[in-house]
Amino acid sequence: MTQSEQNNLLKESAAVASVSLAILLALIKFYAFLKTDSLAVFSSFVDSITDLFASMVSFIAVYFSTKPATSNHRYGYGKTEALSALLQAVFVGVSGFFVISDGIKRLIHPVEIMQTSFGVWIMLFSIFATFLLVVYQTYVANKTKSLAIKADRAHYTVDFLTNSAVVISLLLVHFFGFVYFDVIAALFISSYLLYNAYALAKEAIEMITDKELPGEIRKNIEKIVKNCKGVYGMHDFRSRSLGDAYYFELHLEMDGEISLSEAHELSSSVECKILEAYPNSQILIHQDPIGVDEMRLDHKIDGK
């Protein structure tokens, strides 16, 4: 089995574990809500429903993103991760507003919370199970560099924190009878949901609209190219994310007197060095003789 195949199996196993845990936690949190009538528990249940949706979408994204390029999709299917993130953002945002609406109603008409000790045990189990999943997702993300798994891990990391807030809420209600703290905790969790929705949507839109990769990556590529023997410069450098891979396009400036075979060999050398730094990336290089006078993308961008 190749390393790529092993990575795909790891990503799929992490996605399956995520979906399975989301189903389990949603069921037990809904039962806990029926027993306690706690809005904080209910908001955590809603969060688990969003987790289930997000995990299922991530599983589909992992499935498609690992498919090879085809005649109709020559760049591959990496951007399915961006589409999945956008769907998650919409669902999470709507869920956050729903919980906020219910919280405002309970501020006006408080509801007595029952059996808080039962709710605490349920939430403690949720925290422990979520922690185990985050640990496994961290291992898989570090091993495979999967953006889909990283995004799912970030989502469950927030769950770990918000579930802890729910436990604190239930304990305060149980020992001090402060029912309004239950609403405050729910609003706090909802704020996290809305923030996550914004962050997911922003990242997804940036990928779909082909936003340039971070400046640190671009500067590193320029450094790699300029350190290659026989290269006199580069221009019209473009970059974007294809999901779990990067795409680089650039023009190399080289001696116009060398042969086509030498130019090809030089370009291949540059490509290999880029791949050493960014494995699995896709690279398109155009060779230009140094000093050629032409209309460049750089000129259009700079307004020259």
Pick out the chain residues at pLDDT < 50.
113-115
Query: What was the pLDDT predicted at 4?
Result: 63
Q: How far apart are the first and last CA of the chain?
A: 52
Compute the distance between CA of residue 33 and CA of residue 112 in angstroms, rounded to an integer.
12
Query: What was the pLDDT predicted at 40?
Result: 61
Residues 36/119, Cβ–Cβ less than 8 Å: yes
Query: What was the pLDDT predicted at 173?
Result: 66
Confirm or reject CATH 3.30.70.1350 for domain 215-302, answering yes or no.
yes
Residue written as tokens 């239950």? 182
Query: What was the pLDDT predicted at 62?
Result: 81
Domain range summary for the chain, segments of one domain joined by +: 3-208, 215-302
This prediction has a pTM of 0.68
Query: What was the pLDDT predicted at 76?
Result: 77
Query: What was the pLDDT predicted at 243?
Result: 66
Helix (H) / strand (E) element for 260: namely: helix 260-277
Joined together, the tokens standing for residue 250 give: 């650039």
Compute the distance between CA of residue 182 and CA of residue 165 in angstroms, rounded to an integer.
10
Residues 266/252, Cβ–Cβ less than 8 Å: yes
Instruction: Give the CATH number of domain 3-208; options: 1.20.120.1760, 1.20.1510.10, 3.40.190.180, 1.20.120.420.
Output: 1.20.1510.10
pLDDT in tens, 200-237: 788 888 888 889 999 999 999 999 999 999 999 999 99
